[in-house]
Amino acid sequence: MDTRKTLRVNEAGHLEIGGCDCVELAEKFGTPLYVFDEDYIRGMMRVYRDTMKKEYGDGLVLYASKAFSCEAMYAIAKQEKIGADVVSGGELYTAMQAGFPAADVCMHGNNKLPREISYALNCGVGLFAVDSPSEAELLDAECEKRGRVQDVILRINPGVEAHTHKFVQTATPESKFGFSVQSGAAEEMTKLLLAKKHLRLLGYHCHIGSQIFEKQPFCLAAEKCLAFMADMKKKLSFEAEILNLGGGFGIRYTEEDEKFDFESYAGYLGAIIGAVKAGCEKYGLKRPRLMIEPGRSIVGEAGITLYTVGAVKEIPGIRKYVAVDGGMFDNPRFCLYGSKYTAVLAGRADEPPTELVSIAGKCCESGDLIGENMSLPEARRGDILAVLSTGAYNYSMASNYNRNFVPPAILVKDGMADYIVKPQTYEDLVRNDAIPDRLTARR
């Protein structure tokens, strides 16, 4: 297990995060429970923000809120003076409820709904990343009605493949996102947007995938975007002012993944910045305002999930299941992508692992696992099990499947622990249910 100042094994041999003993957290708040380390989140935001400022100057870091969206996250991002990327009316509403400045929001989505476009305009969102011709029409018409001009960037697909799970690749030719540079679609969309009276095209966006450890795909994507920008300058006399390179930086889930600390993330962004500077020089472009949209790398390793071990079932010669009180409803990533995690028994975190087990959820679904072949000391009913690096794409992908509760989330720092997402109740589960009269009428 990787430790750091705010995630360590304490003197009692218990797992501790943000100065809080995980066994005590489980007792106080119950399980399953998402726990977020505030210092780690702020540390990552600062690394990106400061590196951008020091090494590039005119740039903006946008927290990709799809990784974990709740009001407290936008409150932290606001305090840390970074922007946010949102992909739905719901994420935008959450940001607005937290008092986040709309001007620092970039609105994404391959199929923004008319009501989402209208809501985002009413909020005064700073930037739209346009991703279809019909969206451009809709947005332009809505702006005309309001007598205003909206800043936009165009999502392009530079054709860079990143080495990650194929379901999380977004910039290959068949992707539903963006417009291909290679096919000429990106140029056509540039022309279309430049002709819109109520839209001001400021530049381009690309996002090449997620959980990427290599710098080269990002540098290559930057180079290709800049080459395209130079082409548009030559052909259409359009000089882009913004280049948004999206998110996608990897995090450590298991020992198989590279270990990045704050400094390595700074070096990572530094390399991309170097590629942007070099590309601008190569193509004779003035340096655009640079944006990045990290999500997973800001919250992923900041979060852990605490569970209580229930049934333990051994199928001799085949596998041993350790069942917990959570499952695919709080973490669907194993079911979706076969994702791997590291698990620790929070009350015996100093004990060496002795066996490989499958951690099963409590859903009525045989594929409902948190992971396979996870090394643990012998787990017993009542043990608190911590799964590490669950901060990103867990809560945000959670559901009420089997009418289980989406677990609450707490934020920990220097021994303090506070709810940032309160527990659900049975009443919450039926709040929006309705029974038509004909189902209750007597015969």
Ligand X SMILES: Cc1ncc(COP(=O)(O)O)c(C=O)c1O
φ/ψ of residue 138, rounded to 5: -60, -45
Q: Enter the DSSP assignment of 339.
A: -
Strands 83-86 and 59-64 come out as parallel
Q: Minimum Å distance from CB 426 to ligand X? A: 33
Q: Minimum Å distance from CB 398 to ligand X? A: 16
Q: Which residues have a catalytic role annotated?
A: 364
Whole-angstrom distance, CA of residue 49 vs CA of residue 46: 5
Instruction: Find, among 77, 79, 47, the residue nearest to 63 by Cα.
Output: 77
Nearer to ligand X, 9 or 397 (CB): 397
Listed in order, strand segments (DSSP E) in 264-413 are 289-292, 303-315, 319-324, 343-345, 355-360, 369-376, 384-388, 409-413
Whole-angstrom distance, CA of residue 397 vs CA of residue 410: 17
Nearer to ligand X, 297 or 358 (CB): 297
Query: Which positions touch ligand X (CB under 6 A)?
Result: 64, 66-67, 85, 108, 170, 207, 210, 246-249, 293-297, 392
Listed in order, strand segments (DSSP E) in 164-228 are 179-180, 199-205
Q: Minimum Å distance from CB 49 to ligand X? A: 15
Nearer to ligand X, 248 or 347 (CB): 248
The answer to whether 65 and 89 are in contact (CB under 8 A) is no
Whole-angstrom distance, CA of residue 333 vs CA of residue 390: 10
Instruction: Find, among 288, 186, 182, 179, the residue nearest to 236 by Cα.
Output: 186
Nearer to ligand X, 60 or 67 (CB): 67
Q: Minimum Å distance from CB 212 to ligand X? A: 8
Residue 288 exposure: Cα atoms within 13 Å on the Cβ side: 30
Whole-angstrom distance, CA of residue 93 vs CA of residue 344: 36
- Report, in this order, helix, strand and coil percent for the chain, each rounded to 5: 35, 25, 40
Q: Minimum Å distance from CB 129 to ligand X? A: 7
Q: Enter the DSSP assignment of 164.
A: S
Q: What element of type H or E holds 76?
A: helix 71-79
In the complex, residue closest to ligand X by CB: 247
Q: Minimum Å distance from CB 298 to ligand X? A: 8
Nearer to ligand X, 296 or 362 (CB): 296
Whole-angstrom distance, CA of residue 254 vs CA of residue 359: 15
Q: Enter the DSSP assignment of 57.
A: S
Nearer to ligand X, 140 or 293 (CB): 293
Whole-angstrom distance, CA of residue 184 vs CA of residue 56: 30
Nearer to ligand X, 176 or 443 (CB): 176
Alpha helices in 212-258 (DSSP H): 216-236
